[in-house]
Amino acid sequence: MNTLAVAGLLLVLLGLSYQTGWSRSRALVTTGGQKVHSRPQYHGAYTALWTMIPTLLVLLLWAWLGGEITHNYIVSQIPTDVLQSLDQAGLNATIERIRAIASGFGVAGDVAPFEQTAGENLRNFQMLTNIGVLLVAALCGGAALLYARKRITARLRARNAVERVINIVLLLCSAVAILTTLGIVTSLLTEALRFFTFIHPFDFFFGTVWAPNNAPGSGNYGRYGLLPLLAGTLMITAIAMLVAVPLGLMAAIYLSQYAPRRLRSIAKPLIEVLAGIPTIVFGFFALVTVGPFLRDFGRLVGLNINATSALTAGIVMGIMIIPFVSSLSDDILNQVPRTLRDGSYGLGATQSETIRKVLLPAALPGIVGAFLLAVSRAIGETMIVVLAAGNAPVLRGNPFEPVATITVSIVNQLTGDTDFSGPQSLVGFALGLTLFVITLGLNIFALYIVRRFREQYE
């Protein structure tokens, strides 16, 4: 279908209908001198909506069915004896040739007579259907326009009608968020359930060996034990928290309680720059700078540290999470009422004593909530771990050795693979479901704590 013609038709109809409604409304005022319910713009929009909706419906219907109809027409143009001699690939090739002839581009080599006639017929058919569809759309739109124009009277509540449509559109937009959640839950659940038809859930959730057999076709699927991945995830998360919580919390305390205004206004955005850096950059930084540094440092003090290890990934992930922890803690510290602080100062406490003995205990629930949110962020982090953790799905407790995490295994099992027939790729969804449930639980719990904390001081 000619895009330009469609766009032209739509634009003309839009302008025409709006203008019709508008001038009709103006005419009511000038000739009748009546009090009109809605302003002219609303009458214009009202007519435009009436006109555009049927037109678009016709065009959408054709976009949906048109391909099928054209296809059937082409097949009907191929003589039956030829049709029977063709397999599916040959049929597709012939259809493509006929389309090429019809478009005027032509084909290389000899053209069978039936192809030539079919091509010419197809050209006529396409022209006719295109014009026909445009005509039908324009007629529908025109009829609707006339109907809407007739409906315009002084008492017509055009504004209310237009606002009702706007309301429905707004409602549909907010439904997208629910649909997203629904899509996530159903896709994870159905694919994970399919995975569990291959591998018993017990073997998945409590298995201690992760050794998928990625060669397709063989009956041996390999072993899919979650525990080594979970252990790796938790180890990296713990290291990241050991880095992020002290640094983030102290930074937040200093910035919110001590720092002069100027310093605060400079340092706070600079720390937030860390939050804007893409994780792939952190991953590369960990791989080429932090990892080798830790390895050399380990050699210096007699430790055997791998360049790609849980430690490397954990430290860099901790750095990444600092701004997250610090901005959440900052908010929470600011919510503790001033009176608590002033009372403490009044009793002669120093600033740090006030912070440690009054402010922090009062803010503790909120800070725990922030901590949990940070944990959930760390568990779901992917690229740093893919690059810097070494991908060794083995159950062991040494942070200096390579590990693998849930997210890494999802990436390894699913990249570019759309063939969801074996457990090799389906396991990605089981892992995703595990990840989703863990982070969801943490988030709900954390948000609950933070909300309780807020209510306590409101």
Cβ distance to another protein smaller for residue 178 or 300: 178
Among 115, 191, 330, 401, which residue sits at the site for another protein (rule: CB under 8 A)? Answer: 191
Per-position b or e across 341-360, b if 16+ CB within 10 A of its CB: beebeeeebeeeebbeebbb
317 touches 240 (CB < 8 A): yes
Q: How far is the CB of 355 from another protein (least distance, A)?
A: 7
CA atoms within 13 A on the CB side of 400: 13
Cβ distance to another protein smaller for residue 138 or 440: 440
Q: How far is the CB of 276 from another protein (least distance, A)?
A: 5
**Scanning residues 71 to 110, which ones bind another protein (CB under 8 A)?**
100, 104-109
Cβ distance to another protein smaller for residue 135 or 347: 347
CA distance 413 to 81: 48
**Scanning residues 165 to 184, which ones bind another protein (CB under 8 A)?**
166-167, 169-171, 173-174, 176-178, 180-181, 183-184
Cβ distance to another protein smaller for residue 132 or 269: 269
CA distance 20 to 326: 58
Q: Is position 439 an interface residue for another protein (rule: CB under 8 A)?
A: yes
For residue 33, give the amino acid letter.
Answer: G
Q: How far is the CB of 247 from another protein (least distance, A)?
A: 5
90 touches 157 (CB < 8 A): no
Among 13, 133, 319, 375, which residue sits at the site for another protein (rule: CB under 8 A)? Answer: 319
**Scanning residues 344 to 363, which ones bind another protein (CB under 8 A)?**
350-353, 355-356
Cβ distance to another protein smaller for residue 19 or 180: 180
Among 1, 29, 340, 440, which residue sits at the site for another protein (rule: CB under 8 A)? Answer: 440
Q: Is position 217 an interface residue for another protein (rule: CB under 8 A)?
A: no
Cβ distance to another protein smaller for residue 39 or 396: 39
Cβ distance to another protein smaller for residue 91 or 440: 440
**Scanning residues 250 to 309, which ones bind another protein (CB under 8 A)?**
250-251, 253-255, 258, 267, 269-271, 273-274, 276-285, 287-289
Q: How far is the CB of 138 from another protein (least distance, A)?
A: 27
**Scanning residues 408 to 437, which ones bind another protein (CB under 8 A)?**
410-411, 414-418, 420, 428-429, 432, 435-436
393 touches 210 (CB < 8 A): yes
**Scanning residues 8 to 27, which ones bind another protein (CB under 8 A)?**
none
Cβ distance to another protein smaller for residue 145 or 226: 226
Cβ distance to another protein smaller for residue 16 or 272: 272
Q: How far is the CB of 115 from another protein (least distance, A)?
A: 12
Q: How far is the CB of 143 from another protein (least distance, A)?
A: 28
With tokens 């009436």, the residue in question is: 50
Structure-block tokens of residue 320: 């990444």
Which residues contact residue 168 at a Cβ distance below 8 angstroms, ignoring those fewer than 6 apart?
none
CA distance 404 to 398: 13
Structure-block tokens of residue 433: 């479901």
Structure-block tokens of residue 271: 């720390």
CA distance 51 to 145: 5
Q: What residues are paired with 148 via a beta bridge?
A: none
Q: Write 285-293 long-range contacts (CB < 8 A, 24+).
A: 285/316, 286/312, 286/313, 286/315, 286/316, 286/384, 286/387, 286/388, 287/312, 287/387, 287/388, 290/315, 290/316, 290/388, 291/388
**Scanning residues 27 to 56, which ones bind another protein (CB under 8 A)?**
none
Q: Is position 120 an interface residue for another protein (rule: CB under 8 A)?
A: no
Q: How far is the CB of 312 from another protein (least distance, A)?
A: 14
Q: How far is the CB of 301 from another protein (least distance, A)?
A: 20
**Scanning residues 363 to 392, which ones bind another protein (CB under 8 A)?**
373, 376-377, 379-383, 386-387
Q: How far is the CB of 388 from another protein (least distance, A)?
A: 11
**With 0-12 CB in 10 A as exposed, 13-18 as middle and 19+ as buried, what is 429?**
buried
CA distance 449 to 136: 60
Cβ distance to another protein smaller for residue 173 or 301: 173
